[in-house]
Amino acid sequence: MRVLITGVAGFLGSHLAERLLMEGHEVLGVDDLSTGQQRNLKRLGRYSRFSFLRADVRQPLEVEGPLDWVFHLASPASPPRYLKLPLETLLVNAEGTRHLLDLSLAKGASFFLASTSEVYGDPLVHPQPETYWGNVNPIGPRSIYDEGKRYAEALTVAYYRVHGLPIRIARIFNTYGPFMDPEDGRVVSSFIVQALKGEPITVYGDGSQTRSFCYVDDLVEGFLRLVEVDYPFPVNLGNPEEYRVLDLACLVKELTGSSSPIVFQPLPEDDPRQRRPDITLAKQLLGWEPKVPVREGLQRTIRWFKGAVREADA
């Protein structure tokens, strides 16, 4: 296949691209490098079937040649990043999604939307199935990402209903692994970097809020299984094993052998109290569930971060 991946210099985009390249496909990667990492492009540049286009998908793309799939992964995804780029985040999920849907139509390509568990907001239903409509504050600080993705889902399904465009929608829960941006402010990367540097590990609130953590290889496998089925509605992809944030901090301390103290800061506005996917649909439809235990995945991730931190300090 020849596929286009937006957000290719990001954490998930680069992992998806590398998996497809390893399987022999041709990948055209697109990124404006506002939050993506040059190290990810360097890694992908080893493959002769990879090409890169620096572009902002908030503007229409001109792409030569055929495409089989368009994977839309472009968007700031961590709260610190999208809070710094509110208008950009809204527009990449609104106008960017529209331009890429139009490109898919023009090329006769199928369209894959990387959505998010953030569409569930601060959920009142636990765990969250795809049938749950969510509890989102539409004007809160996190709404720029939450509502941006909700709109992207609505627009994608509208193109399916109006134009018959083949679509897939993955609702991604917290994912971690090697090649995360050490400075993206997400809980796993922040805890690991703080622990490795001997800095205080910052837990917001009392740490009783829960999250689920899926290793990146498992998530990419879910993506590729979703591509293979004809199902045009959202599918949860995440690890149903639930962790308190404080327990995750303690586990990172243990695995890094760090003496960092754990410190507590006020909980940000609209921060979800709980988050856990119901993956019944993914099991039935895709035969998919995560295989990598959190402890093992964190060990792999920490090994990579040790090198990244040394490189940054050099």
CATH of the domain at 163: 3.40.50.720
Same domain, 124 and 35: yes
Q: Give the pLDDT of residue 311.
A: 76
Same domain, 199 and 227: no
Same domain, 82 and 206: no
d(CA 31, CA 4): 11
Amino acid letter, residue 168: R
Per DSSP, the three-state class of 126 is coil
Same domain, 113 and 200: no
Same domain, 41 and 149: yes
- The burial class, CB within 10 Å (0-12 / 13-18 / 19+), for 222 is buried
Q: Give the pLDDT of residue 314.
A: 59
137 domain residue, yes or no: yes
d(CA 309, CA 277): 31
The one-character DSSP state at 135 is B
pLDDT tens by residue, the chain, 314 residues = 999 999 999 999 999 999 999 999 999 999 999 999 999 999 999 999 999 999 999 999 999 999 999 999 999 998 889 999 999 999 999 999 999 999 999 999 999 999 999 999 999 999 999 999 999 999 999 999 999 999 999 999 999 999 999 999 999 999 999 999 988 888 999 999 999 999 999 999 999 999 999 999 999 999 999 999 999 999 999 999 999 999 999 999 999 999 999 999 998 887 888 899 999 999 999 999 999 999 999 999 999 999 888 777 65
Share of the chain above pLDDT 90, in %: 92
Same domain, 55 and 128: yes
Residue 194 is part of which domain span? 177-211+241-276+292-313
Q: Which residues are catalytic?
A: 145
Same domain, 128 and 219: yes
Residue by residue, DSSP assigns 28-85 as EEEE--SS--HHHHHHHTTSTTEEEEE--TTS-----S--SEEEE--S--SHHHHHHS
286 domain residue, yes or no: no
What are 266's two structure tokens?
Answer: 């006020």
d(CA 231, CA 221): 16
119 domain residue, yes or no: yes
183 domain residue, yes or no: yes
Same domain, 93 and 160: yes
Same domain, 168 and 122: yes
230: how many CB neighbours lie within 10 A of its CB?
A: 7
Specify whether the CB–CB gap between 96 and 71 falls below 8 A: no
